[in-house]
Amino acid sequence: MAADTAPRQRKVRILATLGPSSANPEMIGKLYRAGADAFRLNMSHGKHEDLEVAIAAIRALERDVRRPMTILADLQGPKLRVGQFADGLVQLEPGSAFIVDRDETPGDRSRVTLPHPEVFEAIETGARLLLDDGKIVLRVTAAGAERIETIVEVGGPLSNNKGLNVPDVIVPMAALTDKDRADLTFALDNGVDWIALSFVQKPEDVAEARQLIQGRAALLAKIEKPSAVRRIDEILETADAVMVARGDLGVELPPEDVPPLQKQIVEKARMLGRPVVVATQMLESMIRSPTPTRAEVSDVATAVYDGADAIMLSAESAAGDWPEEAVRMMDKIATAVEADPSHWARVHFTETKPDATSADALAEASNGIAQTVSASAIICFTTSGSTARRVSRERPSVPLLVLTPKLKTARRLGLLWGAHSVHTRDVANFEEMVAKSKRMALRAQIAKGGDRVIVMAGVPFGTPGSTNVLHIVRLLGDELERHTEDEIERDD
């Protein structure tokens, strides 16, 4: 496959989940060509040896196209489940009494075991227990250390080992299980770029995971519980990025509450400059159908209009019949939305006030200067990625080319709105920075002779977080022809 030096025209990023339908080298390449910018590994499914094969395939693709590839490992988190029934299935009637207890005897229509002592410790009278993805609702009438008495508010069939959600209290459980810790070690040892943390209830959960990761990957907190929503500001301060995990939110909260919460979380994340991913059931019907519903198309479009950094495919690309088509459809929707003349104004409904730092001031100014002088692109030199994140927060109207000597940084920026990352050798002085900016802009096909570009960097070079230079560069008409093989080799 030929080197892919040109950035995508689309600014929002597409995160595609790999699974039985797609976790092979051929399909991973097809998903990339269809529009996938990053790949998610669901640690709830698949053996480590299978995931290792998928990671190797992504890295091989990265070498083939000479473009950094982003891999996110999504940890499963604790799974609360009831026990088993003597007959395998019971029917719970609305208004009837039902007991959840610590007795390991198989259950019946009046009771079932729950092998999670933490729930008994936290539950309160009046709280809800949601079973089977919220299809059954129990209201707690009495709670003790050994049994929880409830009234069935919404009944239905209940079978063995169905999931339990406890939306009204914070369950005293760590977000990381033994399985998660083993999966985390595997993911870090195999060089993934992002870790997604499930079952986040409070910022301390994120802090614990960050301590274990030790900077070896960036950390994304999944917002899927009401307790996390209540402390979203603190979680955003602690995490590197967040995901609006709408499936679980829609179980634990009334469905009508999820759309406004999605907008609020996206807005808060953007204000802080944290990448935000909107996920779950975006093109759900494409698991079995080659085309989505009109409602799903509108759902994806809404996330793009809100300025989310990335939109995610789950089962559509992991286990569906049409993984490549699902990615291509998401790409088409996002591209069409970004071509809408009103998109620019809608994305900037969110006011992103800069901090009182030179780096933030220059990042904010870069977008306005680019428009004033009709620049073709903004080019960032960065080691840590902070310059790129600051500029991306402003949602610039021109391409954002990110040049970094750290492959780890280039890969992590794959979830960042509008950023096209290039792993390249570092520069030693101002003149070299200007010359490389010109070469890279031409090679990435984001500028041509006679165009202006905005260049941002920190001096002294190689010092993370020291953005203090903004320079306007004009490319000469014969710039590309004057590139030597030695210059290109130095860039690589």
pLDDT in tens, 80-95: 999 999 999 999 999 9
Tell me which residue of 472, 479, 458, 271 sits closest to 371, measured CA to CA. 472
Under 8 Å between Cβ of 458 and 468: yes
As a whole number of angstroms, the longest Cα–Cα distance in the chain is 82
Residues 6+ apart with CB under 8 A from 344: 397
The conformation of residue 354, written as its DSSP 8-state character, comes to P
Q: Is the pLDDT of residue 120 over 80?
A: yes
- 67, 111, 210, 222: the catalytic one is 222
- 10, 11, 13, 40: the catalytic one is 40
Under 8 Å between Cβ of 331 and 298: no
Average pLDDT over residues 160-180: 95
Q: Which amino acid is at 359?
A: A
Q: What is the mean pLDDT of the chain?
A: 93
CA–CA distance, 483 with 491 (Å, rounded to integer): 11
User: Which of the pair, 320 or 465, is modelled with greater confidence?
Assistant: 320
Q: Which amino acid is at 59?
A: R
Q: Is the pLDDT of residue 226 over 50?
A: yes
81 belongs to the catalytic site: yes
CA–CA distance, 423 with 75 (Å, rounded to integer): 28
Q: Is the dihedral of CA 435, 440, 443, 447 positive or negative?
A: negative
Instruction: Answer whether 13-77+175-342 and 358-491 agree in fold.
Output: no
Backbone angles phi, psi at 195, to 5 degrees: -115, 125
Q: Is the pLDDT of residue 486 over 50?
A: no
pTM of the predicted model, to two decimals? 0.93
Q: What percent of the chain has pLDDT over 90?
A: 86
280 belongs to the catalytic site: yes
- 280, 382, 409, 467: the catalytic one is 280
Alpha helices in 98-177 (DSSP H): 117-122
Tell me which residue of 438, 414, 160, 204 sits closest to 312, measured CA to CA. 414
Interior angle at CA 204, CA 199 and CA 205, nearest 5:
25
Q: So where are the chain's domains?
A: 13-77+175-342, 89-165, 358-491
The CA–CA distances, whole Å, from 233 to 160, 193, 311, 348 equal: 38, 24, 21, 21
CA–CA distance, 427 with 381 (Å, rounded to integer): 9
Q: Tokens for 102?
A: 């610590």
Q: Is the pLDDT of residue 480 over 80?
A: no
- 8, 30, 66, 81: the catalytic one is 81
Under 8 Å between Cβ of 56 and 78: no
* β 194-197/136-143 pair status: unpaired
CA–CA distance, 346 with 364 (Å, rounded to integer): 18
pLDDT in tens, 415-474: 999 999 999 998 888 889 899 999 999 999 999 989 999 999 887 766 666 678 899 999
Query: What CATH class has 13-77+175-342?
Result: alpha beta
11 belongs to the catalytic site: no
Q: At what angle do helices 323-339 and 25-34 cross, to 10 degrees?
A: 20
Interior angle at CA 394, CA 389 and CA 399, nearest 5:
80
Instruction: Name the CATH superfamily housing domain 358-491.
Output: Pyruvate kinase, C-terminal domain (3.40.1380.20)
Average pLDDT over residues 318-330: 98
pLDDT in tens, 46-101: 899 999 999 999 999 999 999 999 999 999 999 999 999 999 999 999 999 999 99
436 belongs to the catalytic site: no
Q: Is the pLDDT of residue 485 over 60?
A: no
Q: Which amino acid is at 55?
A: I
Query: What CATH class has 89-165?
Result: mainly beta
Residues 6+ apart with CB under 8 A from 208: 174, 175, 176
pLDDT in tens, 11-33: 999 999 999 999 999 999 999 99
Tell me which residue of 28, 17, 38, 81 sits closest to 412, measured CA to CA. 38
